[in-house]
Amino acid sequence: MTPIDLSWQNFVKKGDEPSFSIIYNKHADDLFSYGTSLGFQKEMCKDAIQDTFYKLYISRENLRDIKNITAYIFKSFKHRLIDLSRKNTREETTGSITESLTESFTLHVTVLDDMIDIENAELIKKKVYSLLEGLTANQREVVYLKYMIGLEHKEIAEMLGIREDSARKLLYRTMEKLRQQASEEDFREGLGVLFLIFLHQ
């Protein structure tokens, strides 16, 4: 049982407030990152985070069976973002927000602190970026939820409103796509190596 699961148990069974604040602090930045990736403004992300945790608190009596609290919070947050943007859209113009929601998932790669040398960090950043750049918004979202948040296929499927085997397939296709790009790059790199050998002789 991870510390966050333990906090969740403490909160859901006894309404323990410090545990609730631990859960909040563990998720606030990740939710903000996810909302920003989906193209939402900071204030709207903050509102949705607030609503998500308020709802989590007041409905905890009904949430005892939830195994993975992170997956639940992410799902709840995304639904809230969609609701909020629908409300805004109704006030302004008509147009389908859910469509534009699935059409964009921004991409920004960072290397934390200085565990990797600067020259290498730049190269790796470029490689990761170019691998992910060719994916569709949906595929990027799958990689993000799996790699950054650590969600399982089943949970990702629930969030994207697709079946579990579809999520698996989506990830499989995503990886196939990554693989193809990589082999093309390998080919180019291979040429470079050949060239070097030639020079050496």
Partner 1 sequence: MASNNQFFESNQNFLLDEEFIRWRLSDTEESNEYWRDFPVKNPHLRQKLQEAIIQFDAIKINRYTLTDEDKMEVYRSVLVKIDRYKRYKRRELSRRIGSVAAVLVIGVMSLLFIINQKDTVSFEDSVRDAIAGKTLPDEEIYLLSGDEKISIVHKAHISLTKEGKALVTDSTDTRKELLLTTTELNKLVVPYGKRADITLSDGTEVWLNSGTQLDFPSEFMGDKREIHVNGEIFIDVVHNPTIPFIVHTQGMDIYVAGTSFNVSAYNDDLKKTVVLVKGKVQVETDGRQMAELLPNEKIEMTGNDFTKESVDVSEYISWTKGILKFDETPVSEILKKIGRYYNVQFERIPEIELNDKTCSGKLFLSNNLDSVMNSVSVLSSTVYQRENNIIHITKK
**Cβ at position 47, least distance to partner 1 in Å:** 9
What is the closest distance, in whole angstroms, from the C-beta atom of residue 23 to partner 1 in the complex?
A: 10
Helix (H) or strand (E) holding 62: none
Q: Phi-psi region for residue 160, left (φ > 0), alpha (ψ -120 to 50) or beta?
A: alpha
Q: Binding to partner 1 (CB under 8 A): which residues in 5-44? A: 6-7, 10, 14, 16-22, 24-25, 28-29, 32-34, 36-37
Q: Which of 63, 84, 107, 162 binds partner 1 (CB under 8 A)?
A: 107
Residue 55 tokens, joined: 């709802």
CA distance 38 to 36: 5
CB atoms within 10 A of CB 35: 22
Assess contact for 133 and 107: CB atoms under 8 A. yes
The half-sphere exposure of 74 on its side-chain side, counting CA atoms within 13 A, is 26
Q: Is 71 in the site for partner 1 (CB under 8 A)?
A: no
Burial of 181 (0-12, 13-18, 19+ CB in 10 A): middle
Nearer to partner 1, 60 or 79 (CB): 60
Residue range at the interface with partner 1 (CB under 8 A); choices 61-69, 72-80, 89-97, 101-109:
101-109
Within 13 A of 26's CA, how many CA atoms are on the CB side? 19
Stretch that binds partner 1, among 77-85, 94-102, 109-117, 157-165 (CB under 8 A): 109-117
Give min distance, CB of 135 to partner 1, in A. Answer: 11
Give Cα separations from 98 to 21, 89, 166 (angstroms).
31, 11, 20
Interaction residues for partner 1, span 123-162 (CB under 8 A):
123-125, 127-128, 131-132, 143-144, 146-148
**Spacing of C-alpha 38 from chain mean position:** 9
| Residue selected from 40, 53, 74, 77 as contacting partner 1 according to rule CB under 8 A | 53
Residues forming contacts to partner 1 in the complex (CB under 8 A) are 1, 3, 6-7, 10, 14, 16-22, 24-25, 28-29, 32-34, 36-37, 46, 49-50, 53-54, 57-58, 106-116, 120, 123-125, 127-128, 131-132, 143-144, 146-148, 171-172, 174-175, 178-179, 182, 185-186
